[in-house]
Amino acid sequence: MPTTLLANALTTVERIKEQGSGIRSTDPTQDEAIKFCINSATTRILAYREFKSLAVGSTLRTFPIQWQAGYADINFGRYDAQTITVVTVNTQLGQTGTTLQSSQYQPLPIGAPDGVFTSIRLVAPVAPGYAPTGVHCQAAVTGTWGFPSVPPDVEHGCIETVLDWLHTYYQVPGEALSAVVSQLQLPARVQSMLADYGKVRVE
């Protein structure tokens, strides 16, 4: 069955061929292997952060609220928001919750140096909602998700990973590509680059 490139793939078959693959741009014989590797590398890289989102337009997502003494944080985990338009707190257990004014929360990091926000600080007194022991307070956050475009170093990391995997695969003739790739990890230099984005990988 033909392999379909993921809608949120971090690079293209053409880019792989351009970047030292040794495969001519007009040679289609390795396209299936390349697409399979791109999909696998994309899935693993996106486990760090949402460099390319499948969410279209304004989308609602739910996150836990971390209450502290005098303030609270809403951490997006591996997700990133280009814009934040609505924040409704205390929606746990089917509660309607309270929709905040923009003056009641601060998207972070300030200035969005990567073009995205990774969390929200509640900066005005917001009363915790009802949550019995073992139940997390939660917030519904509506916004535009994912990076504005795939960062060049992230695409480069995906390309490097695919080239590494292709070369490894070619050295193990007779093995099924899926079996080989499933045993491979992102190259250490790619993992290091992703770590610089400041998020712990989510398994």
Question: What is the residue type of 66?
Answer: Q
Q: How far apart are CA 159 and CA 20, in angstroms?
A: 10
**Which pLDDT belongs to residue 201?**
38
Q: Which positions ≥6 away from 69 have C-beta within 8 Å?
A: none
**Which pLDDT belongs to residue 130?**
75
**Which pLDDT belongs to residue 203?**
30
- Among 133, 152, 169, smallest CA distance to 40 is for 169
Q: What's the CA dihedral at 19, 22, 9, 202 to 10 degrees?
A: -80
**Which pLDDT belongs to residue 101?**
93
Q: How far apart are CA 49 and CA 5, in angstroms?
A: 19
How much of the chain is in helix, strand and coil states, percent to nearest 5? 30, 20, 50
Annotate 8-18 with b (16+ C-beta within 10 A) or e (fewer): bbbbebebbbe
What is the pLDDT tens value at each position of the chain, 203 positions in all? Answer: 688 999 999 999 999 998 877 777 777 878 888 998 999 999 999 999 999 999 988 999 999 998 887 789 999 998 999 999 999 999 998 889 999 999 999 999 999 988 999 999 998 777 777 778 888 889 999 999 999 999 999 999 999 999 988 887 655 455 555 666 666 789 999 999 998 886 543 33
Q: 0.85 cut: is pTM over it?
A: no
**Which pLDDT belongs to residue 202?**
36
Q: How far apart are CA 146 and CA 76, in angstroms?
A: 11
Q: How far apart are CA 162 and CA 43, in angstroms?
A: 12
Q: How far, in Å, are 32, 36, 40, 43, 150 from residue 1 at the CA level?
A: 10, 12, 17, 20, 29
By the 8 A CB rule, do 147 and 50 touch? Answer: yes
DSSP 36-65: HHHHHHHHHHTTT--SS----SEEEEEEEE
